[in-house]
Amino acid sequence: MGAPSTLRFVGLDIGGSFLKGAIVNPSGKVEGRLHEKVEKDSLEALLAQLERAVRTLAGPSGARAVGVGIPGIVEQQSARVFVAPNVPALNGYALGDDFSKRVGMPIFADNDANAAALAEAWLGAGRGSGRQIFVSLGTGIGAGIILDGHIWSGTSGYAGEIGHIQVDPKGLACGCGSRGCVETIAGIPGWIRRTQAALETRESSLRGQELEPKTIVAAAQAGDAVALEIVDESADALGVGIGAALNLLNLDRVVLGGGVAAAGEFLLLRIAEAVRKRTFAQVYADSAFKLAELSGDAGVVGAARVAIIGLSR
Amino acid sequence: MGAPSTLRFVGLDIGGSFLKGAIVNPSGKVEGRLHEKVEKDSLEALLAQLERAVRTLAGPSGARAVGVGIPGIVEQQSARVFVAPNVPALNGYALGDDFSKRVGMPIFADNDANAAALAEAWLGAGRGSGRQIFVSLGTGIGAGIILDGHIWSGTSGYAGEIGHIQVDPKGLACGCGSRGCVETIAGIPGWIRRTQAALETRESSLRGQELEPKTIVAAAQAGDAVALEIVDESADALGVGIGAALNLLNLDRVVLGGGVAAAGEFLLLRIAEAVRKRTFAQVYADSAFKLAELSGDAGVVGAARVAIIGLSR
């Protein structure tokens, strides 16, 4: 099935709920997609699903390699999943071994935020920057850091854990074992929790609305004082985390992606302002802030990019 | 004066108060030292002093190149000083140009924390690590970050500003324009200010002592409750900053240097514990914490190392 002459790449994005896939040409053009509920009850069920997905996407003309984005920590050499909290069936499994033989193609894997960062750097909001951070804003908050054009993974693949920088030593306990992490405030549950608490005592146009970052940002933009406070608390928490990244690394690009980034420019500008307050003028001036551009495709295109980069090593 | 056959290097460490210099062989052995009050009233006075220092250290047998550590931001290509708050005469001056001609040798420069980081990585507590952070604990708190064996400088040379990661949004205003930075708490003035405040209302063995981090750490180690609180506030602030660096970069070594690090293992262990609370278990396990080993020589040996690396490019 692996036809070395075929220059197409399968990108798979394994999420806690869905498996997304795409077949991608060397320019990054998506030539076919797949989106299904992930079968994560057992490793065997998941591998069978992944194999079917690869065969479907590769089709009769085949593909050159497979890249996989994993919601967890990946050892890149062997594509071994160190730990994937939301897909525990994969814990400890090395995709580059058996599964590579099973589909007859080289398999490469990386963390999903790293994959999305690579996609944005390749074709989206990160184009033209060699030192950037892609911050994924969702239920959790992760990042992919690109230095000199390459993902920085660190010693065990844990690099990019911006969501666990501490903002408030007296803050809420976080799943990571620390407390008051960026994620406890600016992850989606943090937005909702803070809004619900405010609505217990204060009037707001948000009352009766479905509480999610997008509606809260829209209300803030329309002048709702409670909503604006919630937005600015999120922006400030992210300002501490992104500010730390810029003070440490003096990057030239910050790309905001993930579902929450869909709230748009208003949120982006508040976050940039929160970073500005916490960085040297030059460090802030060096960094362009941009919203991610590939939205739904970032994960699968980034996974394909992981395969392309892996092959070129 | 530059004898290409002479494999010795001049290292100069320009401080806010003192100029230190050394002549260093290719193995890092210091063959001569110099230590004088820095003449920083004008650029011309400083350059004349630097030239004399180079000639004295190089001696009749000459040297191959000069490396300079600067307490500020340096553009490495031209050895241009972007900004040096404590030696403003150097602001905007490119050492690699005129001054290189004047002494007849190639000149290379870098930030002083970067130089010290390179020295420790070469011959001290950072040996054998390719991805590490050297944190300089003094009046200010800076860092040199080494990734894949090279100093990471960032877009404009500002990388490593760990002292300006925000710990307390409601904290004291910092010289950088932000507030509650690591440095406002764990810089030497922060130790003294917090101790003086505590002594206004509480009994402590520190009363009447000269207040400096070393005596405060010694009192804490001897069981003084006030001193232990002061130490742990410092350790916690550094835990936030170093924790941020480890969560973002998953490094394998943390080297603590600068004058405050002379307080020793007790402080080191409190800082490591403060980092442990704020990082994933694996991220903490990946990082060895060490006290700097070169003490007074780190600046000049590191400056010489900057020259050696610069020549090899």
B238: its two tokens: 């550094």
**Residue B286: alpha-carbon gap to chain centroid:** 23
Q: How far is CA B53 from CA A9, B24, B33, B50, B66, in A?
A: 60, 14, 10, 5, 11
First-to-last alpha carbon distance for chain B, in angstroms, is 22
First-to-last alpha carbon distance for chain A, in angstroms, is 22
The reply to whether A202 and A263 lie within a common domain is yes
Q: ∠ at Cα A130 (B165, B93), nearest 5°?
A: 70
Asked if the C-beta of B177 comes within 8 angstroms of chain A's C-beta atoms, the answer is: yes
A2 occurs within a structural domain: no
- State the pLDDT at residue B5: 53
Asked if the C-beta of A252 comes within 8 angstroms of chain B's C-beta atoms, the answer is: yes
The reply to whether A22 and A112 lie within a common domain is yes
Which residue in the block uniquely carries the two structure tokens 């405010």? A198
- Residue of chain B minimizing CA distance to A287: B155
A268 occurs within a structural domain: yes
Instruction: Look at A156 and B243 and tell me if their CB atoms are within 8 Å.
Output: no
Q: Is the pLDDT of residue A188 over 60?
A: yes
DSSP one-letter string for A195-234: HHHHHTTS--TTTTS---HHHHHHHHHTT-HHHHHHHHHH
Q: ∠ at Cα A256 (A277, A165), nearest 5°?
A: 60
The reply to whether A156 and A264 lie within a common domain is yes
A166 chain-B contacts, CB cut-off 8 A: 240, 243-244, 278
Over residues A182-195, mean pLDDT: 97
B120 occurs within a structural domain: no
Strands, E assignment, chain B: 9-14, 18-24, 30-37, 65-70, 73-75, 80-83, 107-111, 132-137, 141-147, 150-151, 253-257, 288-291
Over residues A20-31, mean pLDDT: 97
The reply to whether A55 and A156 lie within a common domain is no
B155 chain-A contacts, CB cut-off 8 A: 131, 250-252, 286-287
B15 occurs within a structural domain: yes
Give the tens place of pLDDT for each residue, B243-260.
Answer: 999 999 999 999 999 999
Q: Is the pLDDT of residue B125 over 70?
A: yes
The reply to whether B221 and B93 lie within a common domain is no
Asked if the C-beta of A249 comes within 8 angstroms of chain B's C-beta atoms, the answer is: yes
Q: Strand, coil or helix: what is B258?
A: coil
- List, as own/partner pairs, every contact residues A23-30 make where C-beta atoms lie below 8 angstroms and the sequence separation is at least 24, other chains included: A23/A57, A23/A58, A23/A59, A23/A63, A24/A300, A24/A301, A24/A304, A26/A308, A28/A119, A28/A122, A28/A123, A28/A301, A28/A304, A28/A305, A30/A297, A30/A300, A30/A301
Asked if the C-beta of B250 comes within 8 angstroms of chain A's C-beta atoms, the answer is: yes
Over residues B224-253, mean pLDDT: 98
From the list A154, A251, A252, which residue is nearest B249 (CB)? A154
Mean pLDDT of chain A: 95
Q: What are phi and psi of B67, to 5 degrees?
A: -115, 140
From the list A169, A240, A279, which residue is nearest B236 (CB)? A169
Query: How many interchain CB pairs under 8 A, A with B?
Result: 146
Give the tens place of pLDDT for each residue, A119-160.
Answer: 999 999 999 998 999 999 999 999 999 999 999 999 999 999
Instruction: Look at A283 and B158 and tell me if their CB atoms are within 8 Å.
Output: yes
- List, as own/partner pairs, every contact residues B88-93 make where C-beta atoms lie below 8 angstroms and the sequence separation is at least 24, other chains included: B88/B40, B89/B40, B89/B41, B89/B42, B89/B43, B89/B45, B89/B46, B90/B14, B90/B43, B90/B46, B93/B43
Interface of A with B in 123-162 (CB under 8 A): 131, 143, 145, 147, 152-162
B164 chain-A contacts, CB cut-off 8 A: 247, 278-280
The reply to whether B94 and B177 lie within a common domain is no
**Residue B300: alpha-carbon gap to chain centroid:** 11
Chain A nearest CA to B4, separation (Å)? 33
What is Dmax (Cα atoms) for chain A? 65
B156 chain-A contacts, CB cut-off 8 A: 250, 282-283, 286
The reply to whether A50 and A27 lie within a common domain is yes
The reply to whether A98 and A66 lie within a common domain is yes
Chain B nearest CA to A129, separation (Å)? 10
Q: How confident is the model at residue A221 (pLDDT cuts 50, 70, 90)?
A: very high
The reply to whether A161 and A26 lie within a common domain is no
Instruction: Look at A155 and B131 and tell me if their CB atoms are within 8 Å.
Output: yes
Which of A165, A185, A276, A287 to mutate against chain B (most B CBs within 10 Å)?
A165
Q: What are phi and psi of B257, to 5 degrees?
A: -130, -165
The total domain count for chain B is 2
Other residues' Cβ atoms within 10 Å of the Cβ of residue A41 = 9
Q: Is the pLDDT of residue A3 over 60?
A: no
Q: Is the pLDDT of residue B158 over 60?
A: yes
Q: Is the pLDDT of residue B76 over 90?
A: no
Instruction: Look at A247 and B177 and tell me if their CB atoms are within 8 Å.
Output: no
| CATH number of domain containing A79 | 3.30.420.40
The reply to whether B231 and B131 lie within a common domain is yes
A3 occurs within a structural domain: no
Chain B nearest CA to A157, separation (Å)? 7
ipTM entry: 0.94
Domain span holding position B95: 9-111+297-312
Torsion of CA B290, B295, B300, B301, to 10 degrees: -50
Asked if the C-beta of A120 comes within 8 angstroms of chain B's C-beta atoms, the answer is: no
In angstroms, the CA A155 to CA B252 distance is 6
The reply to whether A245 and A135 lie within a common domain is yes
Give the tens place of pLDDT for each residue, B253-283.
Answer: 999 999 999 899 999 999 999 999 999 999 9
Interface of B with A in 254-283 (CB under 8 A): 277-283
Give the tens place of pLDDT for each residue, A278-293.
Answer: 999 999 999 999 999 9
The residue among B176 and B12 whose pLDDT is bigger is B12
In angstroms, the CA B244 to CA B240 distance is 6
A282 occurs within a structural domain: yes
Q: Is the pLDDT of residue B11 over 80?
A: yes
Whether the CB-CB separation of A224 and A244 falls below 8 Å is answered with no
Asked if the C-beta of B236 comes within 8 angstroms of chain A's C-beta atoms, the answer is: yes
Give the tens place of pLDDT for each residue, B184-207.
Answer: 999 999 999 999 999 999 999 999
Instruction: Look at A154 and B169 and tell me if their CB atoms are within 8 Å.
Output: no
A128 CB-near residues (< 8 Å, 6+ apart): none
Mean pLDDT of chain B: 95
Interface of B with A in 155-174 (CB under 8 A): 155-162, 164-167, 169
Asked if the C-beta of A34 comes within 8 angstroms of chain B's C-beta atoms, the answer is: no
B206 occurs within a structural domain: yes
B3 occurs within a structural domain: no
The reply to whether B137 and B88 lie within a common domain is no
Chain B nearest CA to A156, separation (Å)? 7
